[in-house]
Amino acid sequence: MDKRTLHTHLLRQEAERLGFSFVGIAQATQMDEEARRLEEWLNQNKHGQMHYMANHFDKRTDPRKLVEGAKSVVSLMYNYYTPTAQTDSEAPKISKYAFGQDYHFVIKHKLKSLLAFLQAEVGEVNGRCFVDSAPVLERDWAKRSGVGWIGKNTMLIHPKAGSYFFLAELILDLDFVYDHPIKDYCGTCTRCIDACPTEAISPEGYVMDGSKCISYFTIELKEAIPEEYKGSFDNWMFGCDICQEVCPWNRFSTSHQEEAFEPHPHLLQMSKRDWLDLSEEVFRTVFRKSAVKRTKYKGLKRNIAFLYKEASS
């Protein structure tokens, strides 16, 4: 077994032990086509007030500017799906990814363990870990490495497991046996496009207007939600899962096995009235280690109030 094959075997074996569902590896190169699409998307202001998306353009499109001497981008998928749902059907809804502890910390810890393992087994390996918080085009790298295709809803879809996955990356100065992109299996399906209540997905699919997405309004937008979107949120107060809920490929989703992603005992039991009366103390208790803390108490109350105004208007 040559070194590249051995390194690849060790990487995949340890990633599986750490709980990652799928691993794909691509050669670290300049992303010319992806750079063109990103520039066009930014020029059309589809990032709204997510100004950070325009920062570090060169690093977003060339991983060798993030890790000196980078040879490989390892894309990893970590399942967060759960069939568990909120008990009150009239309660404001929260995206499944935010039920449990903040994924940034849970997965970053696992990535660091994986990198330390490689350094112990291989020797001197230079690399960095990324979980949705740095200038890395994670879905494009996942597509290049063959762990899925980017669907019409712009989510990364695995043909045997769906899209309820966190994506993470290791950029390393180590050679591996590289994977290759797979076919796009969206076909003529338009369920995600048809279901999006704010028309954030382009009519042809594959382009998301981030400035129209419910997740953008409820998480990223810091000012008042535009009144024109009253009645369009389908009761989502943090994030949105609509384009995943309607996707046929998510019939293959299976429950995650990550204890850290289990929701706070009170979260799913809270009624619509509980949410309307939400206090800062309850917010801090229920979301102590949650990604929901990103919107802060004030932001979540704004979102809930917006939904309440919808219901009463």
Residues annotated as catalytic (active site), given as ranges: 132
87 and 269 Cβ atoms separated by less than 8 Å: yes
Strand partners, 72: 27, 172
Instruction: Return the structure tokens found at 124.
Output: 């001197």
CB-based contacts of 209, cutoff 8 Å, min separation 6? 46, 200, 201, 202
DSSP 27-43: E----HHHHHHHHHHHH
Alpha-carbon distance values, 165 to 22, 60, 145, 276, 298 (Å):
10, 21, 15, 30, 28
Rounded to whole angstroms, the Cα distance separating 306 from 218 reads 10
Long-range (24+ apart) CB contacts under 8 A made by 39-46 are 41/207, 45/211, 46/207, 46/208, 46/209, 46/210, 46/211
97 phi and psi angles, rounded to 5 deg: -65, -20
Residue whose structure tokens are 């989502």: 236
127 and 115 Cβ atoms separated by less than 8 Å: yes
